[in-house]
Amino acid sequence: MSDLHAYLTDLKLTMPDELSLAFVEQLQAAHIAKYSFNSLAVLLGEEVSLDLTNVYEKIVLHGLGGYCFEHNKLAFELLKSLGYSVRLVMARVLNEQEVDRPRTHRVTLVNIDGKRYLLDVGFGADCPIAPLLLQSDLEQQIGHENYRIVLRGGEYDLQIQRSDNFYTLYRFDLAEYTDADCMMGNFFSSKYPKAVFVNNLVASIKDVNQTSGIRNHVFFTRQHGIEQENLIDSAPALHSLLAEVFHVHVEMVIAEHLFDRFIAPKLAELSSRHTAQQS
């Protein structure tokens, strides 16, 4: 990876002396804390390139963030270039719904000292900030969140604890996947008219203490399972949030476009409901 040193320097990391789990933990935490997960490129009709140089320039040089096919490719290629044993895995995003979903999420398996770990730097607000040991039914506390991986009929479910229950985020298997599978998933995620990222403004960034995110008209923060929400009531407010919280700097005209298309209709719907309830 030609830009290896620049990527590490941007994350304030140095070349590891050995292929340790500790370095992978540092990489995952630093990546998720610095580079935002977001759907901006899709919503703006831009081509989401999976070429490694383009991914590096978009995320590292320009700070524009992206989604799983970009974030996880960057981390995968870095670890591979360092000599880690890594494997590309594709998952079905379920979000607690047992429905037929295509494999539209890219993650990585890393083998370290004879153990397999799930590495994910591109799953938004619910993304773990450290690798998870691939061991069924083992509860693993990561930051302020509790996860487990459950083996179900030859496939694995990644789950996160919400209140007293575990909630399935996505399901993956250990089949062989390649960049061609990522191209298909990326095309679906960025072009299919009913795809989530085509229809919703989402963004998130998180560290060991807090998760911050945008769901269309709502800005939320989450700490220790407690979520606080505030409405995004103007284009300047969105513009400020993107820059100050998610480190994504865009022109005001772009913030105005996103606000008018994805936030204003939601606010109008809320206002209409409130009016109806009052009458």
CB atoms within 10 A of CB 154: 8
> Residue 204 forms beta bridges with which residues?
37, 213
Scan for tokens 């494997």, then name that residue: 87
Active-site amino acid positions: 68, 105, 120
C-alpha 32/C-alpha 129 separation (Å) is: 7
Whether the CB-CB separation of 157 and 136 falls below 8 Å is answered with no
Neighbours of 235 (CB within 10 A): 19
CB-CB contact of 11 with 34 (8 Å) = yes
3-class secondary-structure state, position 98 = coil
Paired residues of 146 in beta bridges = 141
Cα(36)–Cα(31) distance, integer angstroms: 9
The H-assigned helical ranges of the chain are: 4-10, 21-34, 40-43, 52-56, 68-82, 179-191, 196-199, 235-244, 252-258, 264-278
The answer to whether 155 and 173 are in contact (CB under 8 A) is yes
95 three-class SS: coil
Which residue type occupies 72? N
